[in-house]
Amino acid sequence: MIPDTLQSLLARPDLPRVARAINETLQRERVCRERFRRELTPSLKAEFIAGETVRHSPAKAKHLRATQNLVGLFRAFVQRHRLGEVFSEKALICLTRNDYEPDVVFFEKAKADGFSADQMEFPAPDFIAEVLSESTEQRDRGVKFDDYADHGVAEYWIVDCDETSVEQYRLRDGVYQLAQKLKQGEIDSLVIPGFRIPIAAIFDDQQFHVALTELLK
């Protein structure tokens, strides 16, 4: 089925002119994207979105703790059971138009086994978690939300440090549906078999260590 917006565009009498403008824009984006990748450094957290380089400001302590706790829990479980690969925010995820550095990503084993030791650009993962901040929330709930779904990322978590909550989305028919929003209790991953943690372990260091011990039993 052709989306309504595309159907409307195809009906325009000036379609050839519009198509030329779109192609010119995409060509300029390709040049800018190549420059973005050349200039990206390990110390710079930045993303390329809709033709623009988006540089990230330093994160708050609560954001860093939540991200580190999530990465620690996921990585410990995934490595112990040899389920694939977990990367933190410096993994460059290269989608059709945009390049992102999500806070947490998971690749199932079949994908991860194909990565080389020197690889720096990665395809769409199977799981992504983004920890909200004031400067990123609009993108995490907007362009990234749609782009991750469009590229088949099966599970997406939006983590809110202020609410100490997790929104868990599952992909169905190419669209994210909210599976649940939790502020307490435990959460199970939909794509990582057996991964189950308390919500509190994301935000509280003591609970993190308790959960880590349970995962490693």
CATH number for the domain that contains residue 175: 3.90.1570.10
Regions in the chain scoring below 50 on pLDDT: none
**What is the pLDDT, as a whole number, of residue 61?**
95
The answer to whether position 41 is within a domain reads no
77: buried, middle or exposed (CB in 10 Å: 19+, 13-18, 0-12)?
buried
The answer to whether position 202 is within a domain reads yes
Longest pairwise C-alpha distance within the chain: 66
The answer to whether position 153 is within a domain reads yes
**What is the pLDDT, as a whole number, of residue 8?**
85
**What is the pLDDT, as a whole number, of residue 2?**
59
Contact status, residue 134 vs residue 140, Cβ threshold 8 Å: no
The answer to whether position 70 is within a domain reads yes
Strands (E), 57-120: 84-87, 92-94, 99-100, 104-108
Domain that holds residue 196: 57-215
The answer to whether position 15 is within a domain reads no
**What is the pLDDT, as a whole number, of residue 104?**
97
The answer to whether position 17 is within a domain reads no
**What is the pLDDT, as a whole number, of residue 48?**
95
Structural domain tally of the chain? 1
pTM for the full predicted model: 0.90
Question: Which residue from 191, 197, 131 is spatially nearest to 159, judged by alpha carbons?
Answer: 131
The answer to whether position 45 is within a domain reads no
For strands 84-87 and 46-49, give the pairing: unpaired
> pLDDT tens digits for 65-112?
999 999 999 999 999 999 999 999 789 999 999 999 999 999 999 999
The answer to whether position 148 is within a domain reads yes
